[in-house]
Each structure stands twice: as C-alpha cells, then as structure tokens.
C-alpha cells in the first residue's frame, strides 16, 4: 500500500477541495464576494499592516468555518443518511460556528473600516 505522495499531489487535492466548496456551497461564494468587497473598501483607506492582518484573519476564519461546516455536513450525511436528532445538533452547531465567525468578522470590519468610512462621508 503506497502512502507517500509528492507535494504536488497534496496541493492538487487541497485545490480540489477548495474548488468543490466554491462550486457547491452558495454561502461560500457569498462570503468570498463580501471578502472581496471588504478588501476593495480597505484599499481605499490608509490601513496599517496590523489592521490588514486583522481583516485578513477575520475573513480567513469565516472561510475556514464555512469549509469545516461543509466537511461536517457531508460526513454526517455519510454516517447518518436518515434523520437523527444528534445529526441535526451536529449540523446546527457547525452552522452556528459559521454564523458566529461571520458576526465577529462584521464587528472587526466595522471597528477597522467604520472610522475612516465615517470620516469620508462627513459623520
């Protein structure tokens, strides 16, 4: 049984996973669109490296959360194809993880982008 893979195979599999999530998960595409908008907005301001790092980490946490939610949903469907109350709990909690990361990222975005945006519009 061959277990060794070269680094290119590892990257190919990882990109296949990213592609799967982008093709099949509407919410992931929504998160990507919002992330691009936030980055575009941030480019219009003189953000520090720390602010950029914080924004990118917040975006990354949401995207990772969405991917993990997809993993858990598919795994639950595999091991429990019929309805089971515990399967519902697992799916609901992982969806809650994505919601929580999204809420936190919105707060981070408002803290970083809110002040320069407000000063631009004269508030």
What is the full DSSP assignment across 34-103? HHHHHHHHHHTS---HHHHHHHHHHHHHHHHHHHHHHHHHHHHHHH--S--HHHHHHHHHHHHHHHHHHH
Q: What is the pLDDT of residue 117?
A: 93
Residue 42 lies in a domain: yes
Comparing CA positions, the residue from 110, 93, 98, 90 lying closest to residue 31 is 98
Residue 95 lies in a domain: yes
Residue 1 lies in a domain: no
pLDDT in tens, 56-93: 999 999 999 999 999 999 999 999 999 999 999 999 99
Residue 2 lies in a domain: no
CATH number for the domain harbouring residue 50: 1.10.287.3610
Residue 51 lies in a domain: yes
Q: Which domain holds residue 91?
A: 7-121
State how many domains the chain has.
Answer: 1
Query: pTM score, two decimals?
Result: 0.89
Compute the distance between CA of residue 7 and CA of residue 45 in angstroms, rounded to an integer: 38
């Amino acid at each position: 049984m061959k277990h060794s893979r070269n680094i290119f195979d590892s990257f190919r599999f990882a990109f296949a996973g990213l592609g799967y999530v982008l093709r099949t998960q509407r919410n992931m595409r929504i998160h990507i669109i919002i992330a691009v908008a936030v980055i575009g907005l941030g480019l219009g301001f003189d953000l520090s490296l720390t602010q950029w790092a914080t924004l990118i980490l917040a975006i990354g946490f949401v995207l990772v959360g969405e991917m993990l939610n997809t993993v858990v949903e598919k795994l639950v469907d595999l091991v429990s194809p019929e309805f089971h109350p515990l399967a519902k709990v697992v799916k609901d909690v992982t969806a809650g993880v994505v919601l929580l990361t999204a809420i936190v990222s919105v707060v981070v975005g408002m803290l970083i982008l809110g002040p320069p945006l407000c000063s631009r519009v004269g508030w």
